[in-house]
């Protein structure tokens, strides 16, 4: 049995780092595992200008111990009123790596999101022309649409026409949860890819109601039926360059999860790589983990591969019930379980 696995240093292509004290609490977990991360811009107010992105990048770097080798890749949050010239300036200067489309009110801090993507012609034409990726939270927000159908309905009613109108636009359909999303991405051109979280290949929707309501298994898009988990899992381990690692680690303090109206988000950053490794091993394709975690993402973004390597060791790794203290205490994904892999400390 394989006892160690050495792969090129991975990146996280979808991450929430928050701000202030929470940022200081969580950033090191990601920097320990990943060389770069696409940092979601859903702060209040959202990160929608070059100036805001540069300031946020600096706060992230300041939140990490001196000498940490970690590169935050910043994202511009699209709003109805955003200026295409600001987006182009941000992308060409390296301030923005991508733009993020949150349909208004789809999830945490998305009140400023886009109300009608069809109004965004100037932005989309600019992005298509300069090759800038559009990262999409692919759910409709219509309250009449069943929450378990919102991704599939988005693909049919919004994404399919969008791709027809902008056939060369680079799109990442984020945190996919359904067989419809897998089929869509597989059938699309090489300019369309998807990120996959650990939770959506490990739990199905039963986990949210397992003997009682389980707020720490609740995220958006919400976990779906078993058949969808299996389809997304098969895509993740398939070796296709269209699918790559994006944790969607989304920390919320325990009190904001365990309450009458708990926030959506699973905090998986501390053991993300171990969690994915277990899935790839269970599927008998540990040799494909490197592609998913370290190669497909940079190739899609047109960025260099990371230089360094990391090693996973086969060691039983108990996951604590909680991490951090007081108002900043968090429950990690896999709390109370024992994982089979551990990321070795750097020599």
Among residues 41, 34, 32, the alpha carbon closest in space to that of 13 is found at 34
Candidates 151, 248, 274, 281; binder of Zn ion (CB under 5 A) is 248
Given the complex with ligand NCD, which of 220 and 319 has the nearer CB atom?
220
Number of H helices, E strands in the chain: 13, 11
Within 10 angstroms of residue 320's Cβ, the number of other Cβ atoms is: 13
Bridge partners, residue 343, by sequence: 312
How many Cβ atoms are within 10 Å of 125's Cβ, its own excluded? 14
Q: Does 268 sit near ligand NCD (CB under 6 A)? A: no
Q: Which is nearer to ligand NCD, 222 or 339 (CB)?
A: 222
Q: What ranges make up the beta strands (E) of 23-133? A: 36-39, 71-77, 98-101
Could you give the residue numbers annotated as active site? 248
Is residue 199 at the binding interface for ligand NCD, with CB under 6 A as the rule? Answer: no
Tokens, residue 154 = 């988005």
Q: How far is CA 343 from CA 109, 116, 174, 213, in A?
A: 32, 43, 25, 32
Site string for ligand NCD, 123-162 (x = CB under 6 A): --------------x-------------------------
Tokens of 14: 């979808």
Smallest distance from the beta carbon of 248 to ligand NCD, in angstroms?
5
- Cα–Cα distance for residue pair 92/323, rounded to 1 Å: 39
Tokens of 190: 């090489």
Q: Residue 107 binds what, of Zn ion, ligand NCD, none (CB under 5 to 8 Å, by partner type)?
A: ligand NCD
Q: Does 12 bind Zn ion (CB under 5 A)?
A: no
219 binds, among ligand NCD, Zn ion, none (CB under 5 to 8 A by kind): ligand NCD
Q: How far is the CB of 16 from Zn ion (least distance, A)?
A: 6
Interface of this chain with ligand NCD, residues 10 to 29, rule: CB under 6 A? 16
Residue placing its CB nearer to Zn ion in the complex, 8 or 200: 200
Query: Which of 30-38, 126-134, 178-186, 240-248 is the region at the interface with Zn ion (rule: CB under 5 A)?
Result: 240-248
CB 70 within 8 A of CB 64: yes
63's tokens? 């939140």
Which of the listed partners (Zn ion, ligand NCD, none) does 108 bind, with a CB threshold of 5 to 8 Å by partner kind?
Answer: ligand NCD
Residues forming the site for Zn ion (CB under 5 A): 248
Residues forming the site for ligand NCD (CB under 6 A): 16, 42, 107-108, 137, 219-220, 248, 250, 264-265
């Amino acid at each position: 049995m394989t006892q160690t696995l050495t792969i090129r240093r991975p990146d996280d292509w979808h991450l929430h780092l928050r701000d202030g004290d929470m940022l200081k609490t969580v950033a090191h977990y990601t920097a320990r595992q990943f060389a770069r991360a696409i940092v979601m811009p859903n702060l209040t107010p959202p990160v929608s200008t070059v100036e805001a992105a540069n300031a946020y990048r600096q706060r992230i770097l300041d939140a990490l111990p001196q000498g940490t080798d970690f590169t935050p890749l910043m994202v511009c949050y699209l709003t109805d009123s955003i200026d295409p010239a600001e987006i182009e300036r941000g992308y060409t200067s390296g301030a923005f790596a991508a733009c993020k489309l949150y349909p208004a009110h789809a999830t945490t801090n998305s009140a400023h999101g886009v109300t009608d993507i069809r109004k965004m012609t100037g932005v989309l034409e600019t992005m298509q022309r300069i090759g800038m990726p559009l990262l999409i939270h692919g759910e409709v927000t219509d309250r009449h649409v069943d929450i378990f159908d919102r991704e599939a309905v988005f693909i049919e009613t919004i994404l399919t026409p969008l791709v027809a109108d902008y056939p060369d636009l680079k799109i990442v359909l984020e945190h996919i949860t359904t067989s419809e999303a897998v089929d869509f991405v597989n059938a699309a051109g090489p300019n369309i890819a998807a990120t996959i979280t650990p939770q959506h290949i490990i739990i199905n929707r039963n986990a949210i109601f397992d003997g009682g309501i389980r707020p720490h298994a609740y995220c958006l898009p919400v976990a779906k039926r078993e058949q969808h988990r299996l389809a997304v899992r098969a895509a993740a381990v398939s070796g296709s360059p269209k699918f790559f690692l994006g944790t969607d680690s989304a920390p919320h303090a325990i009190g904001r999860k365990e309450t009458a109206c708990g926030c959506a988000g699973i905090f998986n950053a501390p053991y993300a790589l171990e969690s994915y490794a277990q899935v790839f091993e269970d599927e008998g394709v540990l040799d494909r983990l490197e592609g998913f975690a370290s190669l497909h993402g940079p190739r899609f973004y047109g960025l260099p591969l990371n230089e360094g390597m990391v090693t996973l060791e086969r060691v039983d790794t108990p996951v604590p019930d909680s991490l951090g203290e007081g108002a900043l205490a968090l429950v990690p994904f896999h709390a109370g379980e024992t994982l089979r892999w551990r990321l070795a400390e750097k020599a």
